[in-house]
Structure 1
Amino acid sequence: MERTISAMIGKGSVNHNTRAFTAKNVDKNRSADNVEFCQEDIKQVYHKLFDEALERYNAKQKRKDRLIDNYYEKIRRGKQEKLFHEVIFQIGNKDDMNAKSEDGLLAKRILTEFMDEFQARNPYLYVFSAHLHMDEETPHLHIDFVSYITGSKRGLDTRVSLKSALAAEGFTGGTRGATELNQWIASEKQELATVMERYGVEWLQKGTHEKHLSVLEFEKKERAKEVAELDSQKREISSVVLQLGEAVSVKK
């Protein structure tokens, strides 16, 4: 059996995900089959993640205009970062993985196992809301998370940052198409494909525009090699300069 994998950035409608609001394409009779993995109030999550860092930051400030009263509101009103991000994963489509079919139930098991491993694999993406929907045409998984980084040298030492969170997990920007986010999504699709294989389902990849993860990993390794070589050359040059300096001192 072969099936496609879809992964897209969602709008992050928590009311839709929790079914507080029911869209027209939702079959209410099947909503009981949905799975809620977690659901936390995002404001409380911000308190949990950032209150201590905010206290440390404010304690260092000598000017009142630099104090931050509410970090959640600062991010909400700002333009640099989003309060949270959402990614949606789906296996197959309504024709070959319909939610009302046996294959749809298989998709549910695969997506559940994928979700069970997601947080441990992504320690800097705090998942506060995750729902698997079985009451639409095709089973799909909504994952909403707050991206953050610790040990920051500017601003709060623990702060919101998607770019830095993904960099901490090993995803650094390359070419225009190989952004941190695109690399991460490609990596997560590969993780989902690995779970699918356990159930005898192969990843059907369509189109040449989609880079396979192995290619991205190769590029990352090559860049890492280049950096290592440059560091080695830098150390050699520093050693030669030091030796020359010592030689000059001896002659004097």
Structure 2
Amino acid sequence: MVGQGSVNHNSRAFNAKNTDPERSHLNITYCHENIKTVFHELFDEALKRYNDKQTRADRKIEDYYEKIRSSKQEKPFHEIILQVGNKDDMSAEGEDGQLAAAVLDEYMRGFQERNPRLRVFSAHLHMDEATPHLHIDFVPFTTGSKRGLDTRVSLKQALAAQGFKGGTRGDTEWSQWVRSEKEQLAAVMERHGIEWEDKGTHDKHLSVLDFKKEQRAKEIAELDAVKAKKQGQVEQQERRLKELAPAVRNMEQLAAQFSDDPDRILPEPGPLESAKSYREKKAKPLLAKIVKVLRSLYRAYVELKGKYERLQGDYGRAREGNERLSDRLQEVKLENKALRGTVADFERVKRVFGPEEVERAVEDAKRREAAEKEQKKAKRKFSRGAR
């Protein structure tokens, strides 16, 4: 999972309601440094080089940490959360929980060496919640930059320097790195006799609102693709109709020509030619040819006319389907706009009340919902037993 990051929560500067303080002594703190101190360590020299080059005072950076903290492009740090199993099969209070902790501990001890461009400043293994899990907070940085500070904060460039080159939108540096770290964790699990059941559901940890927003965006993209395909089918049907129309008209003209007055198409008799000879040698063969051609033309005409009518039907259905897709696409875009507004409101609540307070409120709500669900389940079991 990817979290917003709450160093105070991770270090147990305060205890949330979902923690058991009596088990907090079992937690492991791998490191807990002040992030501003880490920023000085990583960027002070680069900041001085940058400021020395500036000829205008307003372009100098006084506090690099504050600049990044208020930036819309980068974050001061990132946090990942790792967990093996869940409270049912890896409870922190049982032997399996100790096994999960051993796996996470081994994984953590190789993390910084594997990721030299992700400077870990806070890392904690929690054993005082339902399931053992690991919080790792790090500052991603790149060196040799041609823009801004030569050593600066950049998640994309930090991962690229570690060999993760982004490709398509769905295969970014981040997604490649996440897959690689999952494989590292899976290898540690295997050494401890645990098989990884890849359910394909952990590509990104999203809040419910973010998940819905992402699903709507996917649906819009899919509808756009289907609409484009349908539009292509409509255009193809239009082209085929235009191509067939002249052929149908030509068939009608030919049929009309060969249905003309026989006196106008029969050859004149020769000098001294008898009626019998004329009929047998000229009239009958010509009429036989005409009949054969007419039958052939009629069959082709009927076939082309049927194909023309079928194409007209397909064209009508394609246009109708395309119109329905346009309506659905507009509905989904409106839903997505509403979801973006809801997410923005949620972010405002977090800024007003603070992320820790909102996090506690969300956790309280989840626990109440879980308790209500268990109560309903117990009532259903009781009702079935009574019958």
Higher alpha-carbon Rg: 2
What does 1:68-79 align with in structure 2 at a 5 Å threshold? 68-79=61-72
Q: Percent identity?
A: 68
Query: For residues 19-43 of structure 1, what are the alpha-carbon distances to aligned partners after superposition, in whole Å with 9 as ceiling and x for unaligned?
Result: 1111111011110000000000000
Separation in structure 2 between the aligned mates of residue 122 and residue 206 of structure 1, nearest angstrom: 26
Distance 2:19 2:29 in 1: 16
Q: Which amino acid aligns with 2:176?
A: Q
Larger RCO: Structure 1 or Structure 2 (Cα < 8 Å, ≥ 6 residues apart)? 1
Within 5 A, what are the aligned runs for 1:28-107?
28-107=21-100
Q: Which secondary structure does the structure 2 equivalent of 1:55 belong to?
A: helix
Give the one of 141, 152, 155 matched to 1:159: 152
Q: Which deviates more, 134-143 or 172-181?
A: 172-181
Structure 1 residues 158 and 17, CA, compared in 2 at 3 Å: closer, same or farther?
same
Letter of the 1:109 partner, please give it. A
- Structure having the higher helix fraction is 2
Structure 1 residues 76-128: Cα deviation after superposition (integer angstroms, max 9, x where no partner): 11111001000000101111111011110011111001000000000000000
Aligned pair 1:191/2:184, yes or no? yes
Match of 2:113 among 98, 114, 120: 120
Structure-2 residue corresponding to 1:204: 197
Return the alpha-carbon distance in structure 2 between the equivalents of residues 44 and 93 of structure 1.
35
Q: 1:137 aligns to what?
A: 130
* Structure 2 residue runs without a partner (length 5+): 204-387
Judging changes above 3 Å, is the alpha-carbon distance between structure 1 residues 179 and 97 closer, same or farther for their aligned structure 2 residues? same
Structure 1 range deviating more: 128-137 or 164-173: 164-173
Structure 1 or 2: larger strand share? 1
Structure 1 pair 24/209, CA: closer, same or farther in 2 (3 Å)?
closer
Q: State the AA in 2 paired with 1:100.
A: E
One-letter identity of the residue aligned with 2:178: I
Q: 1: CA distance between counterparts of 2:157 and 2:20?
A: 39
Q: CA RMSD in A?
A: 1.2
Q: TM-score, normalised by structure 1?
A: 0.78
CA 81–207 in structure 1, closer or farther in 2 if over 3 Å, else same: closer
Aligned mates of 1:162, 1:209 — CA distance in 2:
20
SS of aligned partner of 2:179? helix
Q: What is the identity, as a one-letter code, of the residue corresponding to 2:34?
A: D
